[in-house]
Structure 1
C-alpha cells in the first residue's frame, strides 16, 4: 500500500511527522506499506530548511509543487493542476490529507477526480464560522473523504450528524500531540530567554494572526492596550509576523514590557509556552498544546473548532471584545484558572493507531 501524504504549511508537517515514523516502523516490521511525501508549497517559510526536517526526524519531501502565492482561488487552482500531474506520474493507493489548509481541500478534490481514495486526519472538527476559510476547507474535504480519522468525540458526533457511517470514522487521537510529547524533552531555550531575562511562570506568550484581530486596526490597538495594562507588570513575548509588526508600529503600540520578536522554531517556541504564566492567542493548534502542557490559555476568538480544549483543557474562549481581557487576567492572577484534565487518546500513540487502521483497509 502506497500512501501519498500531503502537507502545505508548517503546522502540517508537525501533524504528519509521527505518521511517517509509524509507517516506517510498520514497513520495517514487514508490513506492505510505504509513503510519498508531497509539499504543495502553499506557504513559503524560510525556516523550513533541512534543519526543520532534521528536527522533526523526517525526510525532505519527495516533491514540492511550489504552488504558493496569489489569492486563495489562484492557490487552489495551482495546487490542483500540479497535484493532478503528480498523481498521474506517481500513482498511489491512498491520498492522506491533514488539517484544514487550502492544500487539504485542493488535494482531496484532485484525488477523488483521479479515482483515488482520501483519508482525512483531524476530520470532523467544526467552528461553525463560515467566514473562516479553514471552515470551508473542512466542510468540502469531509464531504468527499472516504476515511475519517478524528481527534475527539465531538468530531465523531459532527461527522455522524452529517450522515457519515460509523464504519468510516476512526477515533484515533491527535497527531500534533504525538509530535509534542516526542519533542518535549528536546525543547530548546531560545536566545531571547537570556536576552530578556525571562523567568519561569513570570511572562506571557502571545500570538495573533487572524484577520478579525490584526486587520481591524483600532480593535487591535485596544486589544494590545488591554493586554499590556492588565498583565500585572510581566513581560509579554510576541513572536510576530512582519506584517502585523508593521501595523502595530503604525498604531504606535509599544511598551517596555512588550517584546515583539521574530517567529521562532517549533522547539524554541514550545520551550517558551511550557514555561509561560499563560498564553494569549487566536490560534487553534496552540490551544491543544497548552492543554497538554497544563498552561493557562486565553483565546481571542468568538468560536473554536477545538471545544475539548475548553471543556477538558486549560483554554478559555474570551471572544474578540477587548473588555473581556481584564476579568480573565484577574482570574489568572488570583490563581483561579482551571487546571484541565487528560483528553482521551491524546497520548502520543495516535499515528500508530492510524497506521493499524490503514493496514486493515487494504485487507
Structure 2
C-alpha cells in the first residue's frame, strides 16, 4: 500500500513519487522516520522490500514493531554470494523501476540492496537519495565499505549523520550542494520508542538472568573462518565465567557458532533473532554489549551502555569520541573478559550527544526531499 495519495494504478507509484528501498533489518529502522515524515507531508511514496533479509524474525517483525507500511512489493531475493545476490537484486529492481517510474529512489545504509538500487537507478536516470551517506571505515575488505563508496558517488542527495561523514564526502569530490548534515534517523526511531524497551518484561518472557552482557556477532570477518570463530567462542566463554552472556544468534553465523560449541557454556544463553523492540530492550538492560554491528554502536551511545566492538575499525568514530564505544581487535581478544568486567563495573557517565542526534533527522530529510529547505 502507498502511504501518500492513491497511486493512479494498482501497485504502481505515480511518476515523481518517492520509492524507498529496504532489504535488511538496519534499513527498516532508518527508513521508518523518513517514511513517517513524508507521510505527514502528504508525499506520494511507496516501499519496496528486496527480501535480502527474508526470515520473519529478521524482516516482517520489524515492519510490525516500527509501524512501517506493508511493502508495495517484495522481490524475495534471499541469500547467496555477493555477486549472485546483487545480480538478482539489479534484475528485479530494474523491472520495478521501469514499471513504477519513481521520481526519486531513497536508499538506506550500506547493504547489497542499497548499492544495487543506486546502480540501477543511475543507469535509468532516476535520482538517488542516500540516507546515512559518508560513513567510512577505510577498510576495503568490508563489503559494506565498497557499497557505501559506490552508492555515494551515484547519489544526487547524500544525507550525512555526522560532521566527519560530510568531510569524507568532500574529500571524495562529492559536490557540496548534494550533501546535507541531517542527523541520524536510527536515533529518531530509538528515541521515539524509549518507553517500549521493557527489559523486565523481556526477562520474564525469556528467563534471562538479572545481570548479563548482551552480545551480537555476524560480520563476515568474525564468522566466516572457523579459526576466528573458535577464538571468539573461547573469549565469550571466558567472559561468561564472570557474567552471563545473552546472544541472539544471527542466521549468518548460526552454524559456525554451533560447530564451535558456543552454547556449551552454562552461562551463555542463546536466543533466536529478536525484533527491534525486544532487541533494544535486551541491549538497554545489559551491563555491557559485545558486538560487531554498526547500528548497535550508535544505539549504545544514546542508551549509555558500554559497548565493546570486535572489529579493528569503525565507520562510526563519533560513537567513540561521543559515546561508550571501544574497539577490540582480534589480537586483543584475550583481553576481552577483563575489558567487559571493567566496562560492566563502571557507572554510566553523562556524555555529549553527537550533533543533531535529537530525534528529528527524519523531518530534516523529508524537508530536503520535498524542497522545503536549502543546504544544512
- Regarding TM over 0.5, the answer is yes
| Residues 1:360 and 2:364 aligned together | no
Secondary structure at the aligned position of 2:242 is classed as coil
Q: What does residue 225 of structure 1 align with?
A: 234
CA RMSD of aligned residues (A): 2.2
Structure 1 pair 328–96 and aligned structure 2 pair: CA distance change class (3 A): same
Tell me if structure 1 keeps the 8 A contact 2:22–2:48. Answer: yes
- Structure 2 unaligned residues grouped into runs of 5+: 1-15
Deviation at 1:352? 0.4
| Residues 1:146 and 2:161 aligned together | no
Secondary structure at the aligned position of 2:46 is classed as strand
| Residues 1:80 and 2:95 aligned together | no
Superimposed CA distance per residue, residues 72-113 of structure 1 (whole angstroms, 9 cap, x where no aligned partner): 112212111121111111112111111001111111111111
Deviation at 1:48? 5.8
Secondary structure at the aligned position of 1:298 is classed as strand
Structure 1 pair 208–341 and aligned structure 2 pair: CA distance change class (3 A): same
Q: What does residue 205 of structure 1 align with?
A: 214
Deviation at 1:24? 0.8
Q: What does residue 315 of structure 2 align with?
A: 305
* Total equivalences in the alignment: 356
- Structure 1 unaligned residues grouped into runs of 5+: 28-32
Aligned pairs (5 A) from 1:158-237: 158-189=168-199, 192-193=203-204, 195-199=206-210, 202-230=211-239, 233-237=242-246
CA distance in 2, matches of 1:216, 1:51: 30
| Residues 1:56 and 2:66 aligned together | yes
Q: What does residue 280 of structure 1 align with?
A: 290
CA distance in 2, matches of 1:362, 1:82: 34
- Give TM-score scaled by structure 2 length: 0.88
| Residues 1:349 and 2:360 aligned together | yes
Q: What does residue 80 of structure 2 align with?
A: 70
CA distance in 1, matches of 2:62, 2:348: 35
Structure 1 pair 166–304 and aligned structure 2 pair: CA distance change class (3 A): same
Deviation at 1:50? 5.8
CA distance in 1, matches of 2:17, 2:251: 40
- Give TM-score scaled by structure 1 length: 0.91
Q: What does residue 266 of structure 1 align with?
A: 276
Tell me if structure 2 keeps the 8 A contact 1:213–1:320. Answer: no
CA distance in 2, matches of 1:361, 1:140: 28
CA distance in 2, matches of 1:342, 1:24: 28
Q: What does residue 114 of structure 2 align with?
A: 104
Structure 1 pair 218–344 and aligned structure 2 pair: CA distance change class (3 A): same
Structure 1 pair 109–218 and aligned structure 2 pair: CA distance change class (3 A): closer
Superimposed CA distance per residue, residues 213-256 of structure 1 (whole angstroms, 9 cap, x where no aligned partner): 22332332333323332456321101113563433333334211
Secondary structure at the aligned position of 1:360 is classed as coil
Tell me if structure 2 keeps the 8 A contact 1:126–1:135. Answer: yes
Deviation at 1:333? 4.7
Tell me if structure 1 keeps the 8 A contact 2:30–2:108. Answer: yes
Superimposed CA distance per residue, residues 304-329 of structure 1 (whole angstroms, 9 cap, x where no aligned partner): 11010001111101112212314423
Tell me if structure 1 keeps the 8 A contact 2:213–2:288. Answer: yes
Deviation at 1:124? 0.5
Tell me if structure 1 keeps the 8 A contact 2:214–2:246. Answer: yes
Which region of structure 1 is more displaced relative to structure 2, 214-223 or 163-172?
Answer: 214-223
Structure 1 pair 23–334 and aligned structure 2 pair: CA distance change class (3 A): closer
Q: What does residue 28 of structure 2 align with?
A: 13
Q: What does residue 340 of structure 1 align with?
A: 351
Secondary structure at the aligned position of 1:160 is classed as helix
Tell me if structure 2 keeps the 8 A contact 1:43–1:68. Answer: yes
| Residues 1:125 and 2:140 aligned together | no
Deviation at 1:9? 1.0
Q: 1:22 aligns with which of 16, 30, 37?
A: 37
Tell me if structure 1 keeps the 8 A contact 2:306–2:344. Answer: no
CA distance in 1, matches of 2:181, 2:60: 33
